[in-house]
Structure 1
Amino acid sequence: MWKRRTLTVMAALLLVLPVAEVGAQASKGEAEDLTIRVAQEMAETLVDDYGVTGVQYAIRDEGTIVLSGGFGVNEAGNKKSVSKDAMFGIGSVSKMYVTAAAMMLADTGKVDIDQPLTTYIPDFKMADDRYKQITPRMLMNHSAGLYGSHYKNGILFDDNDTENYDRLLENLRTDKLKSEPGEYSVYANDGFQLLQLLVERVSRMPYSDFLEQKVSAPLGLTSTKTPLDEFNRGRLYPGRFPSLPGKLPAENANILGTGGLYSTAEEVTLFADVLMGNRPDLLSEASVSAMQQPEYRKGIWVKDERNIFGYGLGWDSVDLAPFGDYGIKAVTKGGDTLIYHSALIALPDNDVSIALLSSGGSSLYNTAAATNILLTYLKETGDIPAIHPDVTFTPPVQEAMPDSLKAYSGLYGTAGSTLRITIDNGEVALPGMLGGIIPGQTFVYTGEGEFTGKDGRTVISFDEQANGHTYARVKSVLEFPGLGQSVLAYYEWQKLEKNPLARPVAKAWKKRDGKTYYAVDEKINSAFYLSPAVLMKTISFDEQGGYANGTKIVDESHAVNAVEIPVMNGRDVTDLRFFSKYDVEYLQADGRIYIGEGAVKPICEGAVSFVTIPASGHARWFKIGEGAAGQTMKVHVPKHGGFAVYDANGMPVNISAVTSTNTAILPEDGLIVFGGRAGDILKITLKPDKTKKS
Structure 2
Amino acid sequence: MRWILTAVLLLLAASPATAAEPGALTAAAIDALVVKHREATGLPGVAVVVTKGTEVVHAAGYGHSPDGRPITDRTPMAVASVSKSFTALAVVQLAEAGWVRLDAPVREFLPEFTMADPRSAGITVRQLLNQTSGMSDSTYAATSGPQAATLGEAVAMLKPATLAAAPGTAWSYHNPNYVVAARLVEVVSGKPFATYLRDHVFAPLRMNDSTTADTDRDLPPSARGHLMPLGFPLAVPEPTSFGNGSGGVLSTARDMAAWLIAQNYGGGAVVSPAGLAELRTPTPVSGSYALGWSLDTTASGSPVIEHAGDLFTSTAYQAVLPSSGYGIAVMANTGTVYGDASTLARTVIAAAEGQATPGEPSRTGLVVTDAVMLALAVFVVAFSARGVRRAVRSPVRRGPWRTGLSLAVLVAPLMLCLTAHHVVSYLYRGRDVGWTHLFYFYPVFMVLLCAMAIGGVTVALARLVFRERSTAPGQGLEISRTAA
TM over 0.5: yes
Q: Is the 8 A contact 1:276 1:351 kept in 2?
A: yes
Cα distance in 1, alignment partners of residues 357 and 48 from structure 2: 24
Q: Label 1:550 to 1:571 Cα distance change in 2 as closer, same or farther (>3 A).
A: closer
How far did residue 180 of structure 1 move?
Answer: 1.4
Cα distance in 2, alignment partners of residues 282 and 61 from structure 1: 19
1:377 aligned partner: 352
SS at match of 1:127: coil
1:265 aligned partner: 253
How far did residue 127 of structure 1 move?
Answer: 1.6
Question: Could you tell me which amino acid in structure 2 is paired with residue 333 of structure 1?
Answer: H
Q: Label 1:170 to 1:42 Cα distance change in 2 as closer, same or farther (>3 A).
A: same
User: How do residues 308-387 of structure 1 correspond to structure 2 at under 5 angstroms?
Assistant: 310-315=288-293, 317-323=294-300, 325=301, 328-362=302-336, 364-379=339-354, 387=355
Cα distance in 2, alignment partners of residues 670 and 223 from structure 1: 52
Cα distance in 2, alignment partners of residues 287 and 257 from structure 1: 19
Does residue 1:39 correspond to 2:34, yes or no? yes
How far did residue 668 of structure 1 move?
Answer: 6.5
| 2:52 aligns with one of 61, 64, 73 | 61
Q: Is the 8 A contact 2:266 2:272 kept in 1?
A: no
Q: Label 1:189 to 1:246 Cα distance change in 2 as closer, same or farther (>3 A).
A: closer
SS at match of 2:274: helix
1:442 aligned partner: none
How far did residue 287 of structure 1 move?
Answer: 1.3
Cα distance in 2, alignment partners of residues 246 and 389 from structure 1: 29
Q: Is the 8 A contact 2:65 2:225 kept in 1?
A: no
1:104 aligned partner: 93
Aligned length: 379
Question: Could you tell me which amino acid in structure 2 is paired with residue 34 of structure 1?
Answer: A
| 2:5 aligns with one of 4, 9, 14 | 9
How far did residue 133 of structure 1 move?
Answer: 1.4
How far did residue 265 of structure 1 move?
Answer: 2.4
Structure 1 residues 561-598: Cα deviation after superposition (integer angstroms, max 9, x where no partner): xx9x9xx724449xxxxxxxxxxxxxxxx9x9x9xxxx
Q: Is the 8 A contact 1:253 1:259 kept in 2?
A: no
1:239 aligned partner: 225
1:125 aligned partner: 114
Q: Label 1:175 to 1:92 Cα distance change in 2 as closer, same or farther (>3 A).
A: same
Q: Label 1:246 to 1:8 Cα distance change in 2 as closer, same or farther (>3 A).
A: closer
Does residue 1:151 correspond to 2:137, yes or no? no
Q: Label 1:26 to 1:174 Cα distance change in 2 as closer, same or farther (>3 A).
A: closer
Cα distance in 2, alignment partners of residues 226 and 252 from structure 1: 16
Q: Is the 8 A contact 2:226 2:234 kept in 1?
A: yes
Q: Is the strand fraction higher in 1 or 2? A: 1
1:137 aligned partner: 126
1:578 aligned partner: none
Structure 1 residues 170-203: Cα deviation after superposition (integer angstroms, max 9, x where no partner): 3321111101111121211010000011100100
2:281 aligned partner: 293
SS at match of 2:166: coil
How far did residue 332 of structure 1 move?
Answer: 0.5
SS at match of 1:177: coil
How far did residue 219 of structure 1 move?
Answer: 1.4
Cα distance in 2, alignment partners of residues 254 and 197 from structure 1: 13
Q: Is the 8 A contact 1:151 1:164 kept in 2?
A: no
Q: Label 1:98 to 1:253 Cα distance change in 2 as closer, same or farther (>3 A).
A: farther
Unaligned runs of 5+ in 1: 1-6, 11-24, 156-161, 302-309, 380-386, 391-478, 484-512, 519-532, 541-548, 552-562, 574-589, 595-646, 653-666, 672-694
Question: Could you tell me which amino acid in structure 2 is paired with residue 206 of structure 1?
Answer: P
Q: Is the helix fraction higher in 1 or 2? A: 2
Structure 1 residues 448-478: Cα deviation after superposition (integer angstroms, max 9, x where no partner): xxxxxxxxxxxxxxxxxxxxxxxxxxxxxxx
Cα distance in 2, alignment partners of residues 97 and 320 from structure 1: 22
Q: Label 1:140 to 1:234 Cα distance change in 2 as closer, same or farther (>3 A).
A: closer
User: How do residues 290-689 of structure 1 correspond to structure 2 at under 5 angstroms?
Assistant: 290-295=278-283, 297-298=284-285, 310-315=288-293, 317-323=294-300, 325=301, 328-362=302-336, 364-379=339-354, 387=355, 481=361, 537=419, 569-572=429-432, 650-651=446-447, 669=455
SS at match of 1:355: strand
Q: Is the 8 A contact 1:331 1:346 kept in 2?
A: yes
Q: Label 1:38 to 1:110 Cα distance change in 2 as closer, same or farther (>3 A).
A: same
Cα distance in 1, alignment partners of residues 22 and 444 from structure 2: 56
Question: Could you tell me which amino acid in structure 2 is paired with residue 39 of structure 1?
Answer: V
2:105 aligned partner: 116
| 2:61 aligns with one of 45, 53, 70 | 70
1:256 aligned partner: 244
Cα distance in 2, alignment partners of residues 74 and 197 from structure 1: 31
Cα distance in 1, alignment partners of residues 75 and 345 from structure 2: 18
Q: Is the 8 A contact 2:65 2:333 kept in 1?
A: no
Question: Could you tell me which amino acid in structure 1 is paired with residue 190 of structure 2?
Answer: R
Q: Label 1:516 to 1:181 Cα distance change in 2 as closer, same or farther (>3 A).
A: farther
Question: Could you tell me which amino acid in structure 2 is paired with residue 569 of structure 1?
Answer: R
Cα distance in 2, alignment partners of residues 670 and 205 from structure 1: 55
Does residue 1:94 correspond to 2:91, yes or no? no
1:423 aligned partner: none
Q: Is the 8 A contact 2:152 2:183 kept in 1?
A: no
Question: Could you tell me which amino acid in structure 2 is paired with residue 9 of structure 1?
Answer: L
1:167 aligned partner: 153
Cα distance in 1, alignment partners of residues 23 and 146 from structure 2: 49
How far did residue 375 of structure 1 move?
Answer: 2.5
Q: Label 1:482 to 1:60 Cα distance change in 2 as closer, same or farther (>3 A).
A: farther
Structure 1 residues 265-303: Cα deviation after superposition (integer angstroms, max 9, x where no partner): 2312311233334445411111111111233x336x6xx
How far did residue 364 of structure 1 move?
Answer: 4.2
Q: Label 1:176 to 1:570 Cα distance change in 2 as closer, same or farther (>3 A).
A: same
Q: Label 1:251 to 1:66 Cα distance change in 2 as closer, same or farther (>3 A).
A: farther
Q: Is the 8 A contact 1:291 1:312 kept in 2?
A: yes
Q: Is the 8 A contact 1:86 1:235 kept in 2?
A: no
2:377 aligned partner: none
How far did residue 36 of structure 1 move?
Answer: 3.5
What do you get for the CA RMSD once the two structures are aligned? 4.5
Question: Could you tell me which amino acid in structure 2 is paired with residue 150 of structure 1?
Answer: A
Structure 1 residues 480-518: Cα deviation after superposition (integer angstroms, max 9, x where no partner): 8469xxxxxxxxxxxxxxxxxxxxxxxxxxxxx979799
